[in-house]
């Protein structure tokens, strides 16, 4: 059959992201796993009612043109869109990631608002594009997938409960895939048209900001899964870190009585154990900001156990903090800058500081792998992936050098910049912890997230096996080494002027309440 002209979905994706609507099969599955039966029931009811209202024959013709859709696909994508939207909003706004029954009702009030304005076309087109991207990426990655493996999702979406036959029919009908017999076994392979479509879809997903948003969400979901294990893994792998945190606290020179924003406060190791909260004292206050509820849960426990009364927790990301200009005397980040978009985070910090206020960060410098040959050998498979970034084009790294940091700070208008390089002692002979850290904490996150599911599992197994073998061969001592990290401190110029504003704090909670009441009144 002739190839069907497929829609460009960049604008659809932009529109949905702009409305905080997100479609992602992995996040959807992660959320579905923990859904309670009442919420599950409400979800099904809402999806059916939503489609009955909006997915009319005219809407279908208008949205998809000649592109066919079969069976349950639209129902399933809407379900996934609702679940992953809930997860994403949870991550960004500090709401529960898994909605309860009421949460499902509220979510659909908001989805209906979007559908009233734009129809249901953007949801369906964007979702089908993401699914096509996942399918084509996996089939291409494995050089063809056996038809029965594809249908069960074994290699790329093992959590699906129904065979993926509807999706396969679409791909065959539009000409992105074909069936080929290999020694009498039916394989699905990507056609030339499908290859071109994959390049074009990757570009659209990248341009709309979808891929980077997904990577951030998965990043955060990983931190969330680590939660309480974080301290223990970190302590074992980087035993010198507590001492360096103490040096960093001295370096920050926070005054008692200061109002401090700590970004990426995690489990509260710096806030509580190192003593940031104690340093600002009862007259001061620390707003501890982190996007991971699980990490924050541990931090809350720490604060309670120490009986501290000057720490407030805030869910969110350093790139966008819901406080007015000039709200803080100091913004501090301990081992978190390299998880943010540094340019945005430091520009936001600048806005938040009073004139003369200080920003201080402790972050990892890029690693020179030549200096750690056993580690280089261990992670060679990941390094190879970095040299051949896939179509999605993630090549930028988040680790700033000292020069990058200095340049960025002066471009953003900071003054009195101080930089200090420090050394961290690593002990990475504990193979499982190291691989978990590589998976969730490291610069390789992006490569991982671009892999189809089974390839990712294979890579983890490979890294575990390589690690065990290398530790056996070289002995534990070879896995102790130093890496470089750095501190900076800089100030917002004392001459800056802050525009006058009304009311001091605009909280996420207030923004959320306003959105919900707008939706309810509509
Ligand atoms: C390596 S931990 C550091 C935690 C703590 N500051 C410490 O010293 O142990 C990094 C933290 O940054 C958080 N994080 C990730 N992305 C972030 C973002 N965009 N903005 C703020 N924090 C972020 C993670 O949730 C995690 O808790």
For the stretch 201-250, pLDDT in tens is 988 888 888 887 777 666 666 666 666 677 778 878 899 999 999 999 99
- The top-scoring range by mean pLDDT among 89-98, 157-166, 229-238, 322-331 is 322-331
Q: What is the pLDDT of residue 509?
A: 46
Pocket probe mutation, ligand 1, options 241, 273, 290, max atoms within 8 Å of Cβ: 290
Q: What is the pLDDT of residue 388?
A: 47
Pocket probe mutation, ligand 1, options 266, 311, 348, 359, max atoms within 8 Å of Cβ: 266
Only one residue has tokens 């895939």, namely 177
**Confidence bin at 386 (pLDDT 50/70/90):** low
pLDDT average, residue stretch 35-40: 94
Q: What is the pLDDT of residue 451?
A: 75
Could you give the percent of the chain with pLDDT greater than 70?
85
Q: What is the pLDDT of residue 152?
A: 92
- The top-scoring range by mean pLDDT among 23-32, 410-419, 474-483 is 410-419
Q: Which atom of ligand 1 is closest in space to residue 262's alpha carbon?
A: 6
Residue located nearest, by CA, to atom 15 of ligand 1: 339
Q: Please state, as a whole number, how many other Cβ atoms lie within 10 Å of the Cβ of residue 324.
A: 16
231 vs 330: CA distance, rounded Å: 25
Pocket probe mutation, ligand 1, options 233, 235, 251, 264, max atoms within 8 Å of Cβ: 264
Q: Which atom of ligand 1 is closest in space to residue 231's alpha carbon?
A: 9
pLDDT average, residue stretch 81-95: 81
The answer to whether residues 215 and 446 touch, using CB atoms and an 8 Å cutoff, is yes
pLDDT average, residue stretch 140-154: 92
Helix (H, G, I), strand (E, B) or coil at 98: coil
**Confidence bin at 502 (pLDDT 50/70/90):** very low
* pLDDT tens digit sequence for 247-301: 999 999 999 999 999 999 999 999 999 999 999 999 999 999 998 777 888 899 9
Name the residue with higher pLDDT: 393 or 85: 85
Q: What is the pLDDT of residue 5?
A: 65
Residue located nearest, by CA, to atom 1 of ligand 1: 335
Q: What is the pLDDT of residue 148?
A: 94
The answer to whether residues 25 and 80 touch, using CB atoms and an 8 Å cutoff, is yes
Q: What is the pLDDT of residue 230?
A: 75
Of 332, 340, 342, 288, the C-alpha closest to 314 is 288
Token pair listed for 449: 């997230």
17 vs 213: CA distance, rounded Å: 9
Q: Which domains are seen in the chain, by residue range?
A: 10-208 (no CATH), 226-367+397-429+480-513 (3.40.50.150)
Residues with CB under 6 A from ligand 1: 220, 223, 263-266, 269-270, 290-292, 295, 317-319, 334-336, 339-340
Name the residue with higher pLDDT: 513 or 461: 461
167 vs 31: CA distance, rounded Å: 22
Q: What is the pLDDT of residue 455?
A: 79
Q: What is the pLDDT of residue 92?
A: 67
Quick check: 505 pLDDT over 70?
Answer: no
Residue located nearest, by CA, to atom 20 of ligand 1: 317
Query: Which element (helix H / strand E) includes 287?
Result: strand 285-290
**Confidence bin at 503 (pLDDT 50/70/90):** very low
Q: What is the pLDDT of residue 395?
A: 38
Q: What is the pLDDT of residue 107?
A: 93
Global pTM? 0.72
Q: What is the pLDDT of residue 94?
A: 61
The answer to whether residues 114 and 17 touch, using CB atoms and an 8 Å cutoff, is no
């Amino acid at each position: 059959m002739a190839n069907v002209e497929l829609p460009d979905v960049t604008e659809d994706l932009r529109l949905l992201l702009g409305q905080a609507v997100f479609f992602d099969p992995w996040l959807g599955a992660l959320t579905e796993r923990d859904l309670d039966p009442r919420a599950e029931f409400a979800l099904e009811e809402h999806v059916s009612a939503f489609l009955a209202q909006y997915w009319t024959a005219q809407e279908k013709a208008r949205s998809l043109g000649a592109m066919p859709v079969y069976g349950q696909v639209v129902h399933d994508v809407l379900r996934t869109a609702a679940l992953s939207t809930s997860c994403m909003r949870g991550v960004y706004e500090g709401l529960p990631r898994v909605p309860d029954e009421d949460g499902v009702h509220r979510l659909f009030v908001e989805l209906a608002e979007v559908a009233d304005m734009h129809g249901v076309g953007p949801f369906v087109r964007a979702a089908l594009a993401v699914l096509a991207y996942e399918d084509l990426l996996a089939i291409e990655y494995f050089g063809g997938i056996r038809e029965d493996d594809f249908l069960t999702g074994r290699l790329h979406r093992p959590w699906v409960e129904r065979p993926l036959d509807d999706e396969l029919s679409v791909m065959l009908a539009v000409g992105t895939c074909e069936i080929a017999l290999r020694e009498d076994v039916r394989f699905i392979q990507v056609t030339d048209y499908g290859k071109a479509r994959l390049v074009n879809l990757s570009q659209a997903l990248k341009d709309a900001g979808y891929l980077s948003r997904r990577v951030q969400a998965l990043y955060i979901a990983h931190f969330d899964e680590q939660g309480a294990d974080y301290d223990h893994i970190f302590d074992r792998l980087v035993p010198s870190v507590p001492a360096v945190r103490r040096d960093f606290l001295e370096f920050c020179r926070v005054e008692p009585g200061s109002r401090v924003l700590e970004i990426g406060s995690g489990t509260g190791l710096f806030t509580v154990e190192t003593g940031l909260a104690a340093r600002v004292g009862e007259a001061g206050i620390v707003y501890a900001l982190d996007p991971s509820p699980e990490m924050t849960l541990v931090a809350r426990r720490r604060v309670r156990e120490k009986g501290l009364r000057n720490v407030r927790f805030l869910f969110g990301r350093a790139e966008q903090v819901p406080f007015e200009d000039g709200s803080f005397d100091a913004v501090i980040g301990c081992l978190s800058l390299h998880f943010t978009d540094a340019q945005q985070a430091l520009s936001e910090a600048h806005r938040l500081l009073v004139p003369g206020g200080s920003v201080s960060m402790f972050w990892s410098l890029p690693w020179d792998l030549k200096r750690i040959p056993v580690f280089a050998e261990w992670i060679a498979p990941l390094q190879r992936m970095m040299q051949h970034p896939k179509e999605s084009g993630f090549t930028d790294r988040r680790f700033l050098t000292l020069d990058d940091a200095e340049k960025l700070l002066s471009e953003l208008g900071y003054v009195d910049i101080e930089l200090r390089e420090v050394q961290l002692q690593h002990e990475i002979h504990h193979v499982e912890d190291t691989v978990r850290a590589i998976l969730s904490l490291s610069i390789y996150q992006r490569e991982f997230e671009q892999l189809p599911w089974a390839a990712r599992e294979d890579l983890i197994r490979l890294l575990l096996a390589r690690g065990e073998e290398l530790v056996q061969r070289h002995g534990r001592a070879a896995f102790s080494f130093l890496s470089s990290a750095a501190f900076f401190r800089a100030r917002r110029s004392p001459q800056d002027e802050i525009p006058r504003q009304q009311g001091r704090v605009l909280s996420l909670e207030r923004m959320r309440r306003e959105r919900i009441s707008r939706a309810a009144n509509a």
